[in-house]
Amino acid sequence: MKWLPFELHTHTPHSDGTHTLLEMCIKARELGLSGIALTDHNTTSGMIDAAAATEETGISIIPGLEWTTFYGHMLTLGVPYSEWRDLGPSDIHKGIERVHEQGGIVGIAHPFSLGSPICTGCHWEYVVKDWNDIDYMEVWHETLPPMRNHNAPAFEQWTSLLNQGYRISATAGRDWHRSSEEDDLPAYTYLGLENEDSMPSTESVVDAISSGRICVSMGPRLELQIERGVNRYGIGDRVEVETKG
């Protein structure tokens, strides 16, 4: 298992970012990141520059999209494209199914950001009928995430869902639009990747997030190991509990 830091929420001029994909990857390398997910608003056209940016910087680029709608922002990862334009406030699951069918995953972006009139659609309002369909939630949004008011309720909701038995991964998403020297500190999303030899692939990133081999940090990576009898468990593993009848 190899643990590598990623940034999972980014934009370029293909939507409303101001840095090119190559400029962002150069900055990502300076920050010590191994990869990014490109999640432009409602377009995947930025992926046209991905191979060249990876070749020049060594940064892995995972294809994604941020469905930017009136009822919330949903991140998709690992699929070249998924249709969202026909989704109404009560049928998000129809869109999620299209992503899952293609082997991708979905995550709710900044669920408690202010909505209209500050930022139309930024607050999550879709009806989630089955939380098993949600693969991850962006519990940390923007730089310096522990200091942002809208992240506390996101963390609380995620914790509450875990306590109800749902397995949903928590991510940090910088929502990276521009690179400058004065940027505040971002958080890192560390992913536990199974293929240790090669460049992180889209499949290995999707697998790490959907399996819960993930941790977010403002600095070092969290290490956690549980020993129970002869068994050892790490982040993402399932620990079976015997219930006494």
Of 28-36, 107-115, 148-156, 223-231, which segment contacts Zn ion by CB under 5 A? 107-115
From residue 168, how far is each of 74, 151, 210 by CA, in Å? 14, 16, 8
Under rule CB under 5 A, residue 19 binds Zn ion: no
Of 90-98, 104-112, 199-207, 235-243, which segment contacts Zn ion by CB under 5 A? 104-112
The residue (of 68 and 204) whose beta carbon lies closer to Zn ion is 68
CA angle 22, 16, 7 (to 5 degrees): 50
The residue (of 7 and 175) whose beta carbon lies closer to Zn ion is 175
Question: Scanning the structure block, which residue is given the tokens 């609380």?
Answer: 156
Under rule CB under 5 A, residue 109 binds Zn ion: yes
Backbone angles phi, psi at 170, to 5 degrees: -105, 130
**Angle between helical axes of 50-57 and 21-30 (0-180°, round to 10):** 30
Among residues 175, 200, 212, 216, the one that binds Zn ion under rule CB under 5 A: 175
The residue (of 66 and 207) whose beta carbon lies closer to Zn ion is 66
Asked if residues 71 and 42 have their Cβ atoms less than 8 Å apart, the reply is: no
To Zn ion, the closest distance from the beta carbon of 177 in angstroms equals 8
Under rule CB under 5 A, residue 142 binds Zn ion: no
From residue 205, how far is each of 24, 163, 191 by CA, in Å? 19, 25, 7
List the interface residues with Zn ion, window 35-94 (CB under 5 A): 66, 73
To Zn ion, the closest distance from the beta carbon of 97 in angstroms equals 22
Q: Rounded to an integer, what distance in angstroms lies between the CA atom of residue 211 and that of residue 174?
A: 22
To Zn ion, the closest distance from the beta carbon of 176 in angstroms equals 8
Residues of the shown chain interacting with Zn ion in the complex, contacts defined by CB under 5 A: 66, 73, 109, 175
